[in-house]
Amino acid sequence: MVVDTLFSQDTTDSPLVAAIDLGSNSFHMVLARLVQDDIQIVDKMGEKVQLAAGLDDQDHLSEEAIQRGLECMTRFAQRIAGMPKTAVKIVGTNALRAARNREEFILRAEEVMQHPIEVIAGREEARLIYLGAAHALADDKGRRLVIDIGGGSTEFIIGERFEPMHLESLHMGCVSYNQRFFADGVISDKAFRRAVSAAQRELMTIRNQFRRVGWNSVIGSSGTIKSIEAICVAQGWTTEGITPEALQKLRKKVMTCKHISELKFEGLKPDRQHLLPAGLAILWATFFSLDITLMRKSDGALREGLLYDMLGRMHHEDIREQTVDVQMRRYHVDRRQAARVENSALIALAQVKPHWKLLDEEEFHSLLSWAARVHEMGLAIAHSNFHKHGAYILENADLAGFTKQEQMALASLVRCHRRKISKSVFESLPGNYREACFKLCLLLRLSVLLHRNRNKQRQPAFTLSVDGNKVTVSFPVGWLDSRPLTRDELTEEASYWRDAGMVLEIA
């Protein structure tokens, strides 16, 4: 694929791409050009929004927090105006994962941005952070431990070169810990110890496994870590990176202050002042739980990882393809049967997409392809309701490269590929997926039905025609007459379609 054909605007031979990270503490945007299969950053924007600070006890975002986010995104929107969908990636992290009213925020934000917004799982966030950090470092051999302290979560990744090996996301962040332990702005040894203890409890879930795997170097990639390193260097406690001794000295300095407003250290930006005690407590617990002796910073993180992930997809190196293949192996999917179903489903899609307005939607083509490959994965659990088992796995597993919305969309196709078509499954999807996934599911169902005998015999050329909510499927003359079972199954399928508000006519 020639990357330039994906973009409509003139960018002097190098197309622009944008990655936007809607973090729990800050929103960040990076604009870059693709130059000789690499990324050249041309502009950066970032604002402290503190979305996580707007979560109440019931995990609802306040209107004030939503407005802060929308105001920031209005400014971002000006910079990406006119860029095509394929050139912009916008993701939300921990605060939006936690928010019960995230769909309300997303709908309003998408209206501002004019681009889809997707929420990523913690481990997917970790994978992208590692990708961004690794590309900003020398391509050295040896394992790296990459740590990113965000506003609502902290990601831990062990990897080698550009490949993550172990990914974890823990529920501790500088904004959430600030609210929990330093909400009144008062700094005390007791509050700090409580924050450290809470972080150590979180770290217990990964401590033994990570230490057993081991690493050669430790990299920090978040604003919190960069701020702490800047203070340590400015104070002369270290020339580069962060050491346990430097952290000890910083803790003593912080404890001499009675209130967050008194934290006036060289190297500490004013907008990070109020988060320093919480961030320091998390980093302190991390250092001493994992026996870290030196941590260096990387300028690459989530948003840079998004850019490199986009670049990979443009060059047919989509991590989601690998993820689907892993699931097929893990659940012992019959690959030959999956390939037969996939081939027929894509043939059907090619015939109906002009009528169903699915033209130029590569994502829908991929979703149907992936669903066909994994539609039988639930058989590894039980034949009874295997479509439900498969859908549950797809919706709840950590699937590298997939956003939460994409997982829901894929799960909906697998969930409804047989028996009753539950419209409520599709109505629960984000707006941009609902109608498309419902129609893709109809095509998947037809393909599964036509290959139910599971033999290698080539199926006849079938044609689909669309007229409003009616789909007519036609076969060569006499083919169905010799296959009464298939005719009966198509008749039963037509009744399922009718219950879902569609008409399937067999010619």
pTM of the model: 0.75
- Same topology for domains 3-120+305-311 and 318-459, yes or no? no
Amino acid 139: pLDDT = 64
C-alpha angle with apex 20: 18 to 26, nearest 5 degrees? 145
Can you read off the two tokens belonging to residue 189?
A: 């040894």
Residues 133, 298 contacting (CB under 8 angstroms):
yes
CATH 3.30.70.20 assigned to 137-298: no
- For residue 125 the two structure tokens come to 């966030």
Q: What is the dihedral of CA 189, 191, 197, 199, to 10 degrees?
A: -120
Q: What three-state secondary structure class fits 456? A: coil
Which alpha helices (H) appear in 315-385, and where do they start and end? 319-330, 335-352, 362-374
The β-bridge partners of 41 are 32
* pLDDT recorded at residue 2: 33
8-state DSSP, 56: -
Q: Which residues contact 312 (CB under 8 A, 6 or more apart)?
A: 318, 319
Distances 437 to 349, 410, 426, 432 between C-alpha atoms, Å: 12, 8, 7, 9
Q: 296: burial class by Cβ within 10 Å (0-12, 13-18, 19+)?
A: middle
| Fold topology of 318-459 | Hypothetical protein af1432 (1.10.3210)
How is the chain split into domains, by residue range? 3-120+305-311, 137-298, 318-459
pLDDT by residue for the chain (507 residues), tens only, comes to 333 333 334 444 567 899 999 999 999 999 998 776 678 889 999 999 999 999 999 999 999 999 999 999 999 999 999 898 889 999 999 999 999 999 999 999 999 999 999 999 999 999 999 999 988 876 667 899 999 999 999 999 999 988 899 999 999 999 999 999 999 999 999 999 999 999 999 999 999 999 999 999 999 988 899 999 999 999 999 998 999 999 999 999 999 999 999 999 998 988 889 999 999 999 999 999 999 999 999 888 899 999 988 887 766 677 889 899 999 999 999 999 999 999 999 999 999 988 888 755 678 899 999 999 999 999 999 999 999 999 999 999 988 888 888 999 999 999 999 999 998 999 988 887 899 999 999 999 999 999 988 877 777 789 999 999 999 999 988 888 888 898 999 999 999 999 999 999 998
CATH number (3.30.420.40, 3.40.640.10, 3.20.20.70, 3.40.50.970) of 3-120+305-311 reads 3.30.420.40
Q: What are phi and psi of 88, to 5 degrees?
A: -130, 130
For residue 459, the 8-state DSSP code is: P
Structure tokens belonging to residue 309: 């992930």
Q: How far apart are CA 191 and CA 43, in angstroms?
A: 39
